[in-house]
Amino acid sequence: MWPVNSSIEVIRSAMRPLVGSNNYVKRRKVPEKCRTRSFHERGTFDLAMILILVFTIVPVSLQAFNIFSHSYDRLDQKYGSFTEKMRLEMLEEVRKMFYFGYDGYMKYAFPMDELDPIHCVGRGPDHENPSNININDVLGDYCLTLIDSLDTLAVLGNVSEFHRAIQLVIDHVSFDKENTVQVFEANIRLLGGLLSAHMLIEEDRFLFGEDLRPPWYNGQLLQLAHDLASRLLPAFQKSITGIPYPRVNLRKGTVDEGAETCTAGAGSLLLELGALSRLLGDPIYESMARRANRALWSARAKTTGLLGNVINAKTGQWVGRLSGLGAGLDSYFEYLLKSYILFGEDEDYQMFNESYSVIKQYLRRGRPQCNSGYGDHPLYVNVDMHSGNTYTYWIDALQASFPAVQVLIGDIEEAICTHAWYYNVWKRYGVLPERFNWQRLSPDVSFYPLRPELIESTYLLYRATRNPFYLHVGREIVQSLNTYAKAKCGYATVHDVLDMSLEDRMESFFLSETCKYLYLLFDHNNPLNNQFNKYLFTTEGHLLPIGEKMRIKPWEADAFSPASPSMTSLKEDESLFFRDKTPKLKTNATQPSCEAVDGARQYLLPLRTPYYLQLTESLGLKE
């Protein structure tokens, strides 16, 4: 069993020198870089085991803590409990939030792509202005919001609406459109939405019950997914570098001359395309996505091993020097790790490991440990990819998803710290500005388009720690969204966090991700939460079942023989297996710090109080 270091005294004595240092908060010394954690050293370290540990064994160990035998400080008390009544109220609030947005879309916008929640009308592509990529990259006359919402309906247990929605998709959606869309957006929102609904219907585990399968269902969503992916293929096939062109015309298969693509756009395609390949038994989609990943990987800077955020698909040359965890790179790292979890290919894990190692080495600033020692609050900054020097003083809202990746790799302590930073920026404004300047402490770009990243990390951290603090965070987020973003027919983008003015747009990810993660955070009995480590969320929050089907490459001759190298098998009841083997997992400074989440800390602030206060004060907040 996982060790339970429950002595509050140990924590307190570790904190004493820190608390005694009265100029700790004000001190802004140049932070020491965290020493690199070498994941390579771990050899054949099994990620699936870490997942099981984080989501199964750690919460079990937490139950051993006696909550009556310790005293708490003010903040521990404030955040240390969350009543069942509050939880049920929040669950109901989120349910209402989803249906307000979804019903508004169905009533005023369907079959168009998005809802304009202030004027209560639908929105499609901007045909008059083809260069309006802010709209045209995403919208394509294909009922985007409905497809993106399908698996959220399943998560909310609304089987009848799930069936109706699938019928509407089948009746209304065609990808044979004269629209030029972004490959990445079409992949994560549409392909992901279609595949997820299809796989939930077809899986043997019946996560949401046997009724989820409509009696008339005959693989129509998979056929649509197949059709869409075939229309995206020219973006890959026309590229001599292997890096796909960012945009493609769905009907003609022509690609835009502009070949600049972000790394995340070109390198976050493998989950959906790989799953499609394995479902169809056709390797072409997976091979294209893998080719793109390898091309990006081999373009990494020789000096640092870092990747830039924009690259030219025609030449394979980087555009600019910025490297970081936010826009342009965020889901690239996420997909390396998640592809390994889903498909079990070592190649993906090795790339993730090496990336994580250089991220820690070059991007991380602040004190070396999250919850001990001296120095500024840890922060991952944007750097020059060739030198590792700080490149900008802003970080962006997309990188608030990184703690969720850190939870998956088992680096919980880091995840706690990274998350706390974004949560406090959220608190400062009521929502998260798109870019926040950490030197001037003000937004550089000040809109908030209902993004899910902070909520996703909050949910993952809650699953890993069961700490009520994260329920408080979720509650505050729900209240902010209702206060600031609720409009006449749905939820609206906050145009400027400084005056909370609104913009008439509800992006589809509000229903596919923001509401889904909030709902799952509060729905403790959701079937998904009971089988959490058997499912994976794509970067658009779509659920993919982890299982043998995704470990087989049917196109290889001997794919179905258990001894075949083309089958990366899952072990029977890995959780049991892992419990037995727990002590064999070495823990030292070069490994993820799962042991940080011990029983004693379930009811204490995850980021210990003095550090938490340091953070809030440095961001000009009061607790």
Would you say 104 or 449 has its CB closer to ligand DMJ? 449
CB 601, min distance to ligand DMJ, A? 29
Residue 572 catalytic?
no
Largest CA distance in the chain: 69
8 A C-beta contact, residue 182 and residue 137: yes
Cα three-residue angle 190-240-358, rounded to 5 degrees = 75
Of 368, 371, 394, nearest to 381 by C-alpha is 394
Of 260, 192, 200, nearest to 232 by C-alpha is 192
Selected catalytic residue, list 137, 141, 453, 504 = 453
8 A C-beta contact, residue 323 and residue 329: yes
Selected catalytic residue, list 161, 203, 272, 330 = 330
Q: Could you give the C-alpha distances from 398 to 78, 192, 557, in angstroms and in order? A: 29, 19, 41
CB 394, min distance to ligand DMJ, A? 17
Q: Could you give the C-alpha distances from 377 to 242, 365, 395, 612, in angstroms and in order? A: 40, 8, 14, 9
CB 312, min distance to ligand DMJ, A? 22
Strand, helix or coil for residue 587: coil
Would you say 345 or 453 has its CB closer to ligand DMJ? 453
Name the CA dihedral angle for 557, 204, 545, 525, rounded to a multiple of 10 degrees. Answer: -170
Selected catalytic residue, list 185, 272, 411, 513 = 185
Would you say 102 or 509 has its CB closer to ligand DMJ? 509
Q: What is the C-alpha to C-alpha distance for residues 469 and 456, in angstroms, rounded to an integer?
A: 15
Residue 185 catalytic?
yes
8 A C-beta contact, residue 513 and residue 541: yes
Q: What is the C-alpha to C-alpha distance for residues 116 and 489, in angstroms, rounded to an integer?
A: 8
CB 182, min distance to ligand DMJ, A? 11
**Phi and psi at residue 445, to the nearest 5°:** -130, 125
Of 119, 9, 1, 101, nearest to 61 by C-alpha is 1
Token look-up 């809202």 returns 397
CB 192, min distance to ligand DMJ, A? 9
Name the CA dihedral angle for 75, 77, 80, 83, rounded to a multiple of 10 degrees. Answer: -130
Sequence-ordered list of residues with C-beta below 8 angstroms from that of 519, at least 6 positions apart, any chain: 91, 94, 95, 98, 152, 155, 156, 526
CB 402, min distance to ligand DMJ, A? 12
CB 492, min distance to ligand DMJ, A? 15
Both tokens of 514, joined, read: 């923001």
Of 453, 152, 208, nearest to 330 by C-alpha is 453
Q: What is the DSSP letter of 491?
A: B
- Residues at the interface with ligand DMJ (CB under 6 A): 188, 331, 398, 451-453, 509, 513, 539-540
Q: What is the C-alpha to C-alpha distance for residues 144 and 167, in angstroms, rounded to an integer?
A: 15
The residues facing 395 across adjacent strands are 436
Both tokens of 427, joined, read: 């608190």
Would you say 189 or 428 has its CB closer to ligand DMJ? 189
CB atoms within 10 A of CB 92: 11
Element (H, E) at 234: helix 220-237
Single-letter amino acid code for the residue at 81:
S
Q: What is the DSSP letter of 29?
A: P
Question: What is the SS3 assignment for 42-89?
Answer: HCCCCHHHHHHHHHHHHHHHHCCCCHHHCCCCHHHHHHCCCCHHHHHH
Would you say 153 or 327 has its CB closer to ligand DMJ? 327
Residue 453 catalytic?
yes
CB 332, min distance to ligand DMJ, A? 10
CB 261, min distance to ligand DMJ, A? 15
The DSSP-derived string for 309-345 is: SEEETTT--BSS-EE-SSTTTHHHHHHHHHHHHHH--
CB 424, min distance to ligand DMJ, A? 19
Q: What is the C-alpha to C-alpha distance for residues 59 and 412, in angstroms, rounded to an integer?
A: 13
CB 330, min distance to ligand DMJ, A? 6
8 A C-beta contact, residue 194 and residue 147: yes
Selected catalytic residue, list 114, 272, 376, 434 = 434
Cα three-residue angle 612-613-615, rounded to 5 degrees = 65
The residues facing 491 across adjacent strands are 486
Would you say 403 or 452 has its CB closer to ligand DMJ? 452
CB 83, min distance to ligand DMJ, A? 31
Would you say 451 or 551 has its CB closer to ligand DMJ? 451
Would you say 348 or 540 has its CB closer to ligand DMJ? 540
Q: What is the C-alpha to C-alpha distance for residues 495 and 433, in angstroms, rounded to an integer?
A: 10
Q: Which residues are catalytic?
A: 185, 330, 434, 453
